[in-house]
Structure 1
Amino acid sequence: MRLWSMHPRYFDRQALTACWREGLLAQSVLTKPGGGYSHHPQLRRFQHTENSRAAMGDYLSAIVDEADARGYRFSRDKIRVTGSREQLHVNDGQLAYEWQHLLAKLQRRSPDTWIRWHELHRPDPHPAFIVVGGPIAEWEKVPSHSAGQQIDE
């Protein structure tokens, strides 16, 4: 499961549709905890909010907004609840790690999208997030040499 921290405008078709599907799965897990994905590390930042289901709904709403802008048909009706009162935090190191991860995927499977974004130094966060200083998130599974990575200013 990959719930990206950067704005969905940077996604290729595959990343956008995968993020939508995985977000819907996460929404289900947050609605009925105890299943196989209940302890998935990517869910922690949503689970630590006052209303995890609304936080996930807000996350999914931005994915649908991007799909709408591209003329795709994602069913907004599948979002169960929105209106979280808090924004999620993402460390700048986490955002940098995810950005490099996405760029590597784009270079392999969507060269046109990669060309559009590869020179961008610092992507905008997903609208549900605000960027704070810090390293790659402790829940992220990365090689040990990447653990302290942050975005260069």
Structure 2
Amino acid sequence: MRELTFDTGVQKYTVNGVEDVFRINPTDTEFIGRLSDAFETLNGMWKNRGDTVEEDMKSDDLKQIVSGMRKMDGKTRQTIDDLLGEGVSEQVFGSVSTYALVDGFPVWANFLLSLMEDCDKAYQRERKLSNPRLEKYLKKYRRTL
């Protein structure tokens, strides 16, 4: 039996020192679409966080406010796990709320934006490589046809 082996572009990602947290091909347009959808969903939750936890936020009771934010944190973690694999959010965020703020953004946004940036860089790099490589093979096989 013959076997073909080729590079699928799937890469292992280390996040903040935690190795092999998830694996993706950063140039996979299907993944990029799901990443964009996840970001839009979470960004909508962030923008509407007052509405999302409206009942919990009506009072000045800290327990109710924290409860509402924990619900949003759980939804955020599930969205990220749906995108990258079960348990990824635990490895990435640990016990830190995904709504903790760093540099003006919630940590979930910092994480997904860094992933989006990496996908963009990978796509640009691969795009530059594809035309010369394709031309090389077209030249080679045009002669034999």
Q: Smaller-chain TM-score range? A: 0.3 to 0.5
Of Structure 1 and Structure 2, the greater strand share is in: 2
TM-score (norm 2): 0.33
Of Structure 1 and Structure 2, the greater helix share is in: 2
State which structure, 1 or 2, has the greater radius of gyration over its C-alpha atoms.
2
